[in-house]
Amino acid sequence: MNDKPVLTIEVLKKYEPIASLSTERLNELLSLLTLDSPGIGVSLFREGDIDNQTVYLLDGDIQLSSSDGAISKVITARDDEARFPLVDGQPRQATATALTRGHVIRIENSILDYMMMWDQMAVSEDRDTQPAQTVTPPPEQETPAGEGGRSWIRKVRHIMAFESMPPANIKQLLEKMQPLDVQAGERIVEQGEPGDYYYVLTEGEAQVTRTVRLANLEAGSSFGEEALLSGGKRNASVTMETDGQVMRLAKEDFDALLKEPMLARLSPDESRVRVARGARWLDVRHAREFRHSRMPHAINIPLHELRMRLDELDKEIEYICYCTTGKRSSAAAFLLVQNGFKASVLNGGIQVMPQDLQRD
């Protein structure tokens, strides 16, 4: 039991409900789950915990017990019950303690729910668009989305950019987004132009430039949100380096389906409470603005540098983004949430919290 087991798609298919996921989705899940090896006597979780995780027993034995005595049993990895999540539900209704050396699989509930939703929706779309009594064509013969097909849905459903949006909006999002084939050298976004679309790159590679190259984009990357959120002009250009495909969402649909649902806006009092509990201020203004005045212990990463400096931030920490009015920080929080960070916005910006500012 001391050797770390190798997780494969075949292993994951032993567990419910993830056994119903597509092979593509299971491949992604392998890189997103956590393999834990608790020592003998160590609790996997405790009664009353809210950990927002799905936990599976891979090998070994555990004891489940509740304070009221309603739950008291031993589960081994050989039991049929081990195919299902341990004490599913939040908060936890029992404590799970390792009786032997073993391993458990931990998956964030938000990730698992998102994957299940995408797979089920893709199946629904396939059924809705598949003519009766026909055989599904191979990928190279699939009907283009613009001609009534939904083949592009299968290309985009691995993208985690929309993980935090309400599930009810996903269906509308797919219907509103337009797939476009693009060529190497084609300029998708032009610096200085007004923002009209939000884009997701589903195939190929692109580069972001502002006089010089700033970043490379690969399939799954999204861009164009800064101008839509701030109401300003494009602050960089995006050019295709290879042939590929993008999906675009018009500004009015972006505002309705993505902008507000993905942004948690906090009042000054709510922000102070969260900072006291461990959240960090993230100042997305220019460095000279930050030097002049700032929130206590704030981190400064200007908005135009944020995409390139995401590796400086910790996904275990909540960040409260702020600027002067809330526009730039809205774009910052949106970008962070898309990339798996916990982020919110100080509603109204630091102009509503002048008494809290540190000044030089």
Give the bridge partners for 64, in sequence order.
73, 96
Give the number of other CB atoms < 10 A from CB of residue 58: 18
C-alpha–C-alpha distance, residues 338 and 352, integer Å: 27
DSSP conformation class of 194: B
**Confidence class for position 307, pLDDT limits 50, 70, 90:** confident
Mean pLDDT within 15-44: 89
Share the mean pLDDT of the chain.
81
pLDDT for the residue numbered 151:
47
Per-residue model confidence (pLDDT) at position 275 = 95
Q: How confident is the model at residue 127 (pLDDT cuts 50, 70, 90)?
A: very low
H-run or E-run covering 322: strand 318-322
Euclidean distance between the first and the last CA atom of the chain, given in angstroms as a whole number = 58
Question: What is d(CA 237, CA 293) in angstroms, rounded to the nearest whole number?
Answer: 31
Spell out the residues 6+ positions from residue 251 whose beta carbon is closer than 8 angstroms to its own. 195, 196, 197, 198, 228
Q: How confident is the model at residue 113 (pLDDT cuts 50, 70, 90)?
A: low
Binning the chain into helix, strand and coil, the percentages to the nearest 5 are 35, 25, 40
Q: Position of tokens 């502002």?
A: 210
Would you state the pLDDT for residue 176? 81
Higher local confidence (pLDDT), 35 or 170: 35
The set of long-range contacts for 252-260, using a CB threshold of 8 Å and a minimum separation of 24, is 253/173, 253/176, 254/197, 254/198, 254/225, 254/228, 255/228, 257/165, 257/169, 257/172, 257/173, 257/176, 258/162, 258/165, 258/169, 258/173, 258/198, 258/334, 259/228, 259/229, 259/330, 259/334
Q: Tell me: the pLDDT tens digits for 140-150?
A: 333 333 333 34
How many Å apart are CA 161 and CA 75, to the nearest integer? Answer: 37
User: pLDDT tens-digit profile of 201-249?
Assistant: 888 999 998 876 777 888 878 888 777 766 778 888 999 999 998 888 8
Which of 222, 159, 219, 218 lies closest to 189, judged by CA? Answer: 222
Mean pLDDT for the stretch of residues 169-190: 83
Predicted local confidence at residue 56, as pLDDT: 95
User: How many angstroms separate the Cα of 305 from the Cα of each of 219, 236, 293, 355?
Assistant: 21, 11, 19, 28
Q: Among 352, 346, 356, which residue's Cα sits nearest to residue 297?
A: 356
Mean pLDDT on 319-347: 86
pLDDT-based confidence at residue 165 (cuts at 50, 70, 90):
low
Instruction: Please report which confidence band the pLDDT of residue 166 belongs to, taking 50, 70 and 90 as the band edges.
Output: low
Q: Residues 282-305: pLDDT tens digits? A: 999 988 889 888 999 999 998 888
Residue with the bigger pLDDT between 117 and 246: it is 246
